[in-house]
Each structure stands twice: as structure tokens, then as C-alpha cells.
Copies of this chain bind each other. A is one copy, B any other.
Amino acid sequence: MKVLSKGSVYALRALTYVVAHKGDIGYVSIGELSRSLDISFHFLTKIFQQLTQAGILESYRGPNGGIKLARPPHEIKVIEIVDVLEGPEFFNTCLLGLPGCGEFDPCPVHDFWAKAKEALRREFELTTLAELGTKVSDERLRIKP
């Protein structure tokens, strides 16, 4: 069951790593993140470009350049990242793939699925990068394969 695209997954892992290991000081190079987390450098670059254009990250070119969070980690919600990388239709899907499925023209599993989607959206809304980072650094939870 694949819910998030690779782009979202890589972004969340990489930014959690930044928060957990880099203390939010200065720029972190994409090359280092790519090596540390075993994620394709060019692919990661493309993902970060989207997040930079969306204002979630700031980037800097040249020696000692890289990316950093545009705001403190406790202000950046997981859902912001998901919104950018998955697009606005992410929480607007029907489990049976029926176009136009909704409150007034539902499929047979609409009610259940609407609740399940809302629970996921809420989780993404309530979770910040700071929390992910804290979990990883304090409790030594996994972030690498």
C-alpha cells in the first residue's frame, strides 16, 4: 500500500535528518544528505527545488551552500511538504477511483474512506518537522533503510 510518492518520502526523511542531526544552523549540502540517506542526488535536488520554490526551504549556491529550512522546524507541518509534492488533489480521491465521488454522489465506501482520509490529514496537520526530528534524535528511531 503506497500512500506517499517517493518524492514526499525522501523529502520527509531528508528534512527529519536535517532537524535531528544538523541543529538548524547554516546550509546543509544536498550531496551530504544524498550520501547519508542513500537517496539519488539528482532526484533529491529536484525535490528540494520544488520545496524551495514553495518557500519551505531556502537554498544557497557555491561552497558551503546547500539548503536549510525557511522557518524553525516546529513551525513546519508535515502537511505543507505533502501539499507541495503531492498536489492539491491528494486528499480528494475516491477509494474506488470514481470521479465525482463525494457527499452528494458517494461510492459504497465513501463514508468510511472520508473519515480515514481526514484522520491522515489531521495527523499530517498536527505533526511538525521538530517532532519528527526529536523522535529520531531522542528515541533513536530509524530514518535510514
Residues of B within 8 A of A141 (CB): 106-108, 110
Copies in the complex: 2
Contact flag A123-B132 (CB < 8 Å), given A1-B3, A86-B1 = no
Query: Which residues on the B side are within 8 Å of A6 (C-beta)?
Result: 97
Instruction: Give the complex CA separation of A83 and B16 in angstroms.
Output: 33
User: Is A95 interfacial (CB 8 A cutoff)?
Assistant: yes
Within 8 A of B (CB), among A11-50: 12-13, 16
Interfacial residues of chain A within 59-116, with CB under 8 A of chain B in the complex: 86, 90-91, 93, 95-101, 105-110, 112, 116
Interface residues on chain A, number (Cβ under 8 Å): 42
Looking across the interface, which residue of chain B has its beta carbon closest to that of A13?
A: B96
Question: Which of B91, B105, B119, B131 sits near A1, CB closer than 8 Å?
Answer: B91
Q: Which of A9, A107, A108 has the most CB of B within 10 A?
A: A108
Interface residues of A (CB under 8 A from B): 1-4, 6, 9, 12-13, 16, 86, 90-91, 93, 95-101, 105-110, 112, 116-117, 119-120, 123, 127, 131-132, 135-136, 141-145
